[in-house]
Amino acid sequence: MTAYSTSMRLRIDWSELDSFGHVNNLAILRYAQTARLNYMEETGMMRFHTETGIGPVLASTSCQFKKQLFYPGHVIVYTVVDHIKNTSFHIRHSVLNENHECIAEMHDVLVMFDYKKNMKQPIPEIFRDKMKITEFNIEE
């Protein structure tokens, strides 16, 4: 069992299908992108960036596709920070179908960045505290 701090339910769109009739892998990556942005908004990182010019930048992302996903339906993306360093943090996303089956696991590395100085920045304590909060669990 893994603890997750945010979840997001997204509708599968017909336009996300590929020629084989299942949801294209790029659409699944977009689900994680949407969840990542949602997480940054919920923690206040986006507002902090607007006010200070300091915010996260995506350094890397990876995905392991586990099952095919089909239209119509919804997915739920669960998100948690699973590692925090001085200037970077790692986010894990689990994408589940409506049967609560894991269809993809993604891992992002984000670096706190000062966009005005064009350099890495230590993660502010306010975000370190928020990253440790978990609200619910899912069975894997």
- Structure confidence by residue, pLDDT tens digits, 100-129: 999 999 999 999 999 999 999 999 998 988
Domain range for 66 is 2-138
CATH number of the domain that residue 47 is part of: 3.10.129.10
List pLDDT tens digits, range 10-21: 999 999 999 999
Q: Tell me how many domains the chain contains.
A: 1
Residue 137 has pLDDT above 70, yes or no: no
What average pLDDT does this structure show over 62-73?
A: 96
The answer to whether 120 and 111 have CB atoms below 8 angstroms apart is: yes
List pLDDT tens digits, range 79-103: 999 899 999 999 999 999 999 999 9
Average pLDDT, the chain: 90
pLDDT > 70: what percent of the chain?
A: 91
The answer to whether 110 and 88 have CB atoms below 8 angstroms apart is: yes
The alpha carbon torsion through 96, 99, 103, 107 (nearest 10 deg) reads: 20
What average pLDDT does this structure show over 61-77?
A: 96
DSSP 37-105: HHHHHHHTHHHHHHHHSEEEEEEEEEEEE-S---SS-EEEEEEEEEEE-SSEEEEEEEEE-TTS-EEEE
The answer to whether 27 and 72 have CB atoms below 8 angstroms apart is: no
In the prediction, which pLDDT does 136 show?
47
3-state secondary structure of 130: helix
In the prediction, which pLDDT does 6 show?
84
3-state secondary structure of 9: strand
pTM of the complete model beyond 0.95: no
